[in-house]
Structure 1
Amino acid sequence: MKTRQALRQTIRNKRRQLTAQQQSDAALGLLHRFSADEKILRAQHIALYLSNDGELNTKLIIDWCWQQNKCVYLPVMHPFSKGHLLFLRFEQQTPLINNRYGISEPPLDVRTIIPAAQLDIICTPLVAFDKTGARLGMGGGFYDRTLSQWYKQEKQQNISSPYAIGLAHDCQLVDEIPTEVWDIPLPEILTPSTRYKFQ
């Protein structure tokens, strides 16, 4: 089995090699799956992210959420709690700045922060996944930390909000993810061709 870092590099390279047409087709396929998902249709507060490094483009699904009058939120790195995320309301007129990783995010504004517990859906980026719902991220652990408390609660008390959905290209599916104890598996992953449900 490949090490986590080697697997990250392999899949990131594969993702970056997708042509503009393949990326465009994938974004349309994802919109089709996303807009037909029952949990998403029922949700009002949805955390998404802006694509980077060959990730599946989320612009179409963000636009669809706005058209459906759903509230969209984007992750921002917490300024005081290292390795944690805040979620800020994202609207069409929201300005964007680049964080230290070169990823666009809204400027920090306490008036637009939503407590993560009030989100209905958190859509998570990922580098690779397998058919058990194991997710390999970029290595910073931001989403694992964000989802860990609800994952524990869900196991103990059947609390299911916020519900996590991974978004990925089909080429990001691998045979097996080498997992660590802090990794949080996802209950659902959407790709342009398939909806994977793990719980």
Structure 2
Amino acid sequence: MTEFDRGALRADLRQRRRALSAAERVRAGTQVGGLLEPYWNGARLAGYWACDGELPLHALPPTPPEAQYCLPCLLPDKRLAFAPWRPGEALKPNRYGIPEPDLPDQSLLRPEALDVVLVPLIGFTRDGTRLGSGGGYYDRSFAFLNHMPRPQRPQLIGIAYSFQELPRLPAAPWDVALDLIVTEREVIRTAG
């Protein structure tokens, strides 16, 4: 395996994620929740439904009263839209079995409407390069960020275990860089 063999890197890092005990995942999620507090602001905040060993978001800081918490929904064109959701509201499995809000399409928000987006990942580098699951949903959905000035754009925050850090990973032309990465150990400000 070379360090740039994305398929092999994904398989290895996924296996390491899955090998964590439930207690280790919960502990990491609690630590990340505490570190996220200064960055968890805005009117529209998006998370994700953790699966396949992803770092859980059970300990997020409380959503500000005036804010909407959103979850991603898959669109037919392999992009994401985001649906406002509160615990207890209806969910349905998407084509990958991941729960997403059961709302009509007209209730969904476009990625441009968000303020803060927590992004799951398989691996990352400190410059903000993200190794995703390979479907390209986040990169396609947030491609507009590569041409938008920072103050006017949603902030992308990668959420990861510290062992998911890679020493190097060449960015593909379609990759959208992360603004921050939060692990159970630290907040990493990227060059993205």
Return the TM-score normalized by structure 1: 0.88
> What is residue 59 of structure 1 aligned with on the other side?
58
Cα–Cα, structure 1 residues 112 and 13, in superposed 2: closer, same or farther, change >3 Å? same
1:100 CA drift (Å): 1.2
Counterparts of 1:72 and 1:178, CA distance in 2: 32
The whole-number CA distance in structure 2 between the counterparts of 1:99 and 1:78 is 10
**Contact kept? 2:145, 2:176, Cα under 8 Å:** no
Q: Aligned letter for 1:143?
A: Y
Indicate conservation of the 8 Å contact 2:50/2:56, yes or no: yes
Amino acid at match of 2:78: G
Structure 1 residue runs of 5 or longer lacking an equivalent are: none
For these two proteins, the number of residue pairs brought into alignment is 188
Identity %: 30
State the SS of the aligned residue for 1:114.
coil
Aligned to 1:169: 161
1:83, 1:130 → 2: CA distance? 25
Structure 2 matches for 1:34-183, cutoff 5 A? 34-37=36-39, 40-41=40-41, 43-61=42-60, 64-66=61-63, 68-69=64-65, 70-79=67-76, 82-154=77-149, 158-183=150-175
Deviations 1:128-183 (A, max 9, x none): 001111100000100001111122223xxx44421111111111111112331111
How much has 1:78 moved relative to structure 2? 1.0
Shift of 1:2: 3.7
Where do 5+ consecutive residues of structure 2 fail to align?
none
Q: What is the one-letter code of the residue matched to 1:183?
A: D
Give the ranges of 4+ consecutive aligned residues of structure 1 lying more than 6 Å apart after TM superposition: none
Opposite residue 12 of structure 1, the aligned amino acid is: R
Query: RMSD in angstroms over aligned alpha carbons?
Result: 1.5
The structure with the largest helix share of the pair is 1
Q: Distance in 2 between matches of 1:78 and 1:108?
A: 13
